[in-house]
């Protein structure tokens, strides 16, 4: 395997010294880039893009060719798992993801198969292998999956939701059925992430995008408990290196201590948390990733730099911070503003890493 030329992302995840704070952006390959829109049109559609290893690799590298990012993230989607369980994922133009089949009864949950990652999701592993080869050690590659709770919301609702009406009703009406669904998803996500690691992913992130919609009690029982199961089952060393795990619960600021106790290397924070306070709360346990409000990228470059400076100052001196947005970059952002953001992180952070 080729040696890594830039490993500051992996080093920061392990709280090892770095020269500047590493940075990447959630959803860094995507609709805000004209070259992404062109590749997507050439592929035919979003799922065609995910299933074509060459084009998935091409769009993974597009943001890296524009900006000095410190990590690449596999181009795929969290909804590949429910698709492989037979739900039939599709995208209508201009709309979010939809499923042909909804899973909202105990019987439907019972009938769900647990996908075999190499057999049923082989296209994802092919993309991982292709990207690793093409990266040739430039930066580390992040693999990812959705959390069981976040995936369950899409499966029960049949797509995106604002209020999670059906998924929360099922959780309270029939907690046993919800637990069965979450357990199947935890098993599926564990083997899916392990297959990504064996195929070449050098760190993995679990996206719990909708964990923050739950009450504290329900979060512990229906989201965190299943992420803990996944973490317990993950391969933690590969190619002679630690494979760090990042847990991102959007809206999870109240639960940082229990998230840190799962044994992951890092927590992803949304923009509602104060990074300095979060650092005090988790102590030496985990590194922190985040957490600029993605809408700051609609402002001018000077305002973006100011906000980057404020966040760096709030984390303070020393390693253990990976700069990111507090959620994904949005399609309306001007690509040059993303560039101003990334350059500001590198330019302004050196002084926090001097001893
Ligand atoms: O129209 C298009 O081209 C599709 C837009 C798109 C893109 C670019 C979707 C559909 N997925 C993706 C890629 C994607 N999704 C990545 C790629 C790697 C990168 O970050 O560059 C990743 C990591 C995801 C993860 C994902 N998908 C999440 C978790 C992260 C988050 O933003 O909270 C979620 C919730 C999804 C579901 C999904 N897939 C696509 C969309 C538009 C959505 C969100 C729908 C919703 O808000 O409910």
pLDDT digits (tens, 9 = 90+) for 47-56: 999 999 999 9
Query: Is residue 307 in a domain?
Result: no
- C-beta 221 within 6 A of ligand 1: no
Query: Is residue 229 in a domain?
Result: yes
Query: Is residue 345 in a domain?
Result: no
- State the CB neighbour count (10 A cutoff) for residue 61: 17
Query: Is residue 159 in a domain?
Result: yes
Query: Is residue 300 in a domain?
Result: no
Q: How many Å apart are CA 108 and CA 36, to the nearest integer?
A: 37
Kindly state the average pLDDT of the residues 108-120. 98
Kindly state the average pLDDT of the residues 138-167. 97
Kindly state the average pLDDT of the residues 267-290. 97
What are residue 237's DSSP bridge partners?
Answer: 242
76 alpha carbon – ligand 1 mean position (Å): 8
Structural domain for 98, as ranges:
31-289
The total number of structural domains in the chain stands at 1
Query: Is residue 26 in a domain?
Result: no
> Could you tell me the CA-to-CA distances from 203 to 23, 169, 244, 354 in Å, in that order?
14, 35, 5, 26
**Active-site residue list:** 27, 31, 40, 77, 154
Q: What is the mean pLDDT of the chain?
A: 97
- C-beta 40 within 6 A of ligand 1: yes
> Which atom of ligand 1 lies closest to the CA of 60?
21
Q: How many Å apart are CA 263 and CA 54, to the nearest integer?
A: 35
Q: What is the pLDDT of residues 208-219, one digit of tens each?
A: 999 999 999 999
Which residue, judged by its Cα, is nearest atom 24 of ligand 1?
A: 77
What is the pLDDT confidence band of residue 2, given thresholds at 50, 70 and 90? confident
pLDDT, residue 94, reads 74
> Does the structure show a pLDDT above 70 at 1?
no
pLDDT, residue 95, reads 81
> Does the structure show a pLDDT above 90 at 355?
no
Which residue, judged by its Cα, is nearest atom 2 of ligand 1?
A: 46
Category of 164 on φ-ψ map: left (φ > 0), alpha (ψ -120 to 50) or beta: left
- C-beta 31 within 6 A of ligand 1: yes
What is the pLDDT confidence band of residue 93, given thresholds at 50, 70 and 90? confident
Kindly state the average pLDDT of the residues 334-349. 98
8 Å CB contact between 288 and 320? yes
Q: How many Å apart are CA 193 and CA 197, to the nearest integer?
A: 6
Kindly state the average pLDDT of the residues 257-274. 98
Tokens (6 digits) for 140: 């580390």
- C-beta 36 within 6 A of ligand 1: no
CATH number at residue 236: 3.20.20.210
């Amino acid at each position: 395997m080729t040696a890594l030329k830039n490993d500051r992302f992996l080093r920061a995840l392990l709280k090892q010294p770095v020269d500047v704070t590493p940075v990447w952006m959630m959803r860094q390959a995507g609709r805000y880039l004209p070259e992404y829109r062109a590749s997507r049109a050439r592929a035919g559609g979003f799922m065609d893009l995910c299933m074509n290893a060459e084009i998935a690799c091409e769009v993974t590298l597009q943001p890296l060719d524009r900006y000095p990012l410190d990590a690449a993230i596999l181009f795929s989607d969290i909804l590949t798992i429910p698709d492989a369980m037979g739900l039939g994922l599709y995208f209508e133009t201009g709309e979010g993801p939809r499923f042909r089949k909804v899973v909202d009864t105990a019987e439907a949950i019972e009938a769900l198969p647990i996908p075999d990652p190499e057999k049923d999701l082989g296209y994802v592993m092919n993309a991982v292998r292709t990207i690793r080869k093409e990266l040739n050690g430039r930066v580390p590659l992040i693999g990812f999956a959705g959390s069981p709770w976040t995936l369950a919301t899409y499966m029960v609702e049949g797509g995106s939701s604002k209020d999670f009406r059906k998924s929360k009703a099922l959780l309270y009406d029939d907690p046993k059925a919800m637990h069965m669904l979450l357990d199947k998803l935890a098993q599926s996500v564990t083997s899916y992430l392990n297959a990504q690691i064996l195929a070449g992913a050098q760190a993995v992130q679990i996206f719990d995008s909708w964990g923050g919609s739950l009450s504290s009690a329900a979060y512990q029982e229906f989201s965190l408990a299943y992420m803990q199961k996944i973490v317990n089952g993950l391969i933690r060393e590969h190619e002679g290196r630690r494979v760090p795990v990042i847990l991102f619960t959007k809206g999870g600021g109240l639960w940082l201590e229990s998230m840190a106790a799962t044994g992951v290397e890092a927590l992803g924070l949304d923009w509602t948390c104060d990074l300095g306070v979060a650092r005090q709360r988790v102590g030496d346990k985990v590194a922190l990733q985040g957490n600029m409000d993605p809408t700051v990228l609609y402002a001018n470059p000077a305002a973006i730099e100011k906000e980057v400076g404020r966040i760096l100052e709030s984390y303070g001196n020393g390693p253990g911070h990976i700069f990111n947005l507090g959620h994904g970059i949005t399609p309306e952002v001007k690509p040059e503003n993303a560039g101003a953001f990334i350059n500001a992180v590198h330019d302004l952070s050196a002084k926090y890493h001097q001893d």
